[in-house]
């Protein structure tokens, strides 16, 4: 039997679905390319220290000034093209009086990009172009995984059972994600205001880190990746007796809850550290990617265990211990 992969384009995928997949891949690739270049140009800024010799410090500041302008040029297409789905999603939901995960993402990009442009223009202040490009690249990576997972579903009786289960679980997950975003946004602005009152030079960095962490990417992937693993299990092996479907559904629900609650726990752990100023914006973006990859890996465990199980003996994929 041919190996199953969520990255393989489904044969029955519609034209718009294929186009959406290609556009997402193009945006993700461009964002990663820009991110690597911007991080390279941001490196001189990490070396700067007031303890350096005056001549060396002046030469380094001139290099940083030039590198910041190059970084700005590289970041503009990331903000305008790569992050275009974010702008569309955020404005569309806000016009309908709703808050989605695109809203904190858009606010995080604006909060980091606009002050960075001002600092580059005046030659004074911190820039966060590396954090912006890293955030967008990691976000698009998580969303591409989610898109592949949602498109890699089968059809038929057994697959319909899994889809019905997905609908019921997704409603609860979306409700939890909504309140999570609302609380995180409020926390970001309150903490940012406090930092602005006492240490204004660190206020933007702290608020950007909190806004980046308010993006529930891992939470958004929690159910789709587990459901995609269940569909993959059905496609990769012959279906057993009816009670096997019940066990597969139970295992899928268990993995979905693990993904969802572990994502919430990770955010609750990192948010206080970011509020204290211990998490830089780029590190917040890395933590977002790691939590998303952890969700994908846990869902893969479901597929791996089910496909290795003996015929007619579905095994639960819950994390032991």
- Residues 22-40: what's their mean pLDDT? 93
In a domain, 320, yes or no: no
Q: Which two tokens stand for residue 250?
A: 């139970």
Instruction: Select, from the ranges 64-73, 164-173, 242-251, 275-284, the one with the highest average predicted confidence (pLDDT).
Output: 64-73
* Residue that wins the pLDDT comparison between 28 and 179: 28
**Ramachandran area for residue 91 (φ above 0: left; ψ -120 to 50: alpha; else beta):** alpha
* Residue that wins the pLDDT comparison between 8 and 107: 107
Quote the pLDDT of residue 152: 66
In a domain, 85, yes or no: yes
216: which DSSP letter?
-
By the 8 A CB rule, do 310 and 302 touch?
Answer: no
In the predicted structure, residue 159 carries a pLDDT above the cut 80: no
Question: What are phi and psi for residue 285, nearest 5 degrees?
Answer: -65, -40
Separation between Cα atoms, residue 159 and residue 171, nearest integer Å? 19
* Residue that wins the pLDDT comparison between 55 and 8: 55
Quote the pLDDT of residue 310: 46
Say which residues have a Cβ less than 8 Å from residue 52's Cβ, sequence separation at least 6.
Answer: 60
In the predicted structure, residue 117 carries a pLDDT above the cut 80: yes
- Residues 59-86: what's their mean pLDDT? 93
Separation between Cα atoms, residue 78 and residue 45, nearest integer Å? 21
Quote the pLDDT of residue 153: 63
Of 132, 92, 130, 80, nearest to 111 by C-alpha is: 132
In a domain, 313, yes or no: no
Structural domains of the chain, count = 1
Separation between Cα atoms, residue 252 and residue 242, nearest integer Å? 16
In a domain, 2, yes or no: no
DSSP tally for the chain: helices H, then strands E: 10, 0
Q: Which of 68-82, 184-198, 210-224 has the lowest mean pLDDT?
A: 210-224
In a domain, 177, yes or no: yes
* Residue that wins the pLDDT comparison between 59 and 307: 59
Which residue range forms the structural domain that includes residue 194?
15-308
Residue the block writes with tokens 């587990």: 226
In a domain, 300, yes or no: yes
How many CA atoms within 13 Å lie on the side-chain side of 193? 5
In a domain, 143, yes or no: yes
In a domain, 158, yes or no: yes
Of 229, 295, 227, nearest to 261 by C-alpha is: 295
Q: Which two tokens stand for residue 134?
A: 């890293």
Please report which confidence band the pLDDT of residue 112 belongs to, taking 50, 70 and 90 as the band edges: confident
């Amino acid at each position: 039997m041919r190996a199953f992969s969520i990255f393989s384009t489904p044969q029955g995928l519609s034209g718009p679905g294929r186009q959406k997949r290609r556009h997402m891949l193009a945006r993700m690739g461009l964002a990663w390319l820009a991110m690597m270049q911007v991080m390279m140009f941001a490196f001189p800024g990490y070396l700067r220290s007031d303890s350096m010799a005056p001549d060396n410090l002046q030469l380094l500041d001139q290099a940083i000034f030039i590198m910041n302008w190059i970084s700005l040029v590289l970041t503009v297409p990331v903000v305008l093209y790569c992050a275009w789905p974010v702008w569309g999603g955020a404005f569309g939901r806000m016009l309908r009086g709703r808050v989605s995960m695109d809203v904190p993402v858009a606010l995080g990009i604006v909060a980091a990009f606009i002050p960075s442009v001002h600092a580059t223009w005046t030659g004074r202040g911190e820039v966060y172009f590396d954090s912006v490009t890293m955030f967008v690249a990691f976000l698009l990576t998580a969303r591409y995984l989610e898109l592949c997972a949602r498109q890699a579903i089968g059809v038929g009786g057994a697959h319909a059972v899994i889809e019905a289960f997905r609908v019921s679980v997704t409603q609860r997950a979306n409700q939890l994600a909504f309140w999570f975003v609302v609380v995180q946004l409020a926390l970001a602005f309150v903490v940012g205001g406090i930092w602005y009152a006492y240490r204004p030079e660190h206020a933007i960095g702290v608020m950007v880190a909190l806004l980046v962490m308010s993006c529930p990417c891992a939470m958004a992937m929690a159910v789709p990746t587990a459901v995609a693993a269940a569909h993959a299990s059905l496609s990769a092996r012959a279906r057993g007796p009816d009670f096997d479907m019940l066990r597969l559904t139970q295992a899928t629900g268990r993995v979905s809850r693990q993904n969802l609650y572990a994502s919430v726990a990770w955010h609750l752990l990192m948010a206080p550290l970011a509020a204290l100023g211990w998490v830089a914006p780029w590190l917040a973006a890395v933590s977002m990617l790691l939590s998303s990859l952890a969700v994908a890996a846990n869902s893969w465990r479901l597929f791996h265990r089910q496909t290795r199980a003996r015929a007619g003996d579905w095994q639960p994929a819950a994390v032991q211990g």
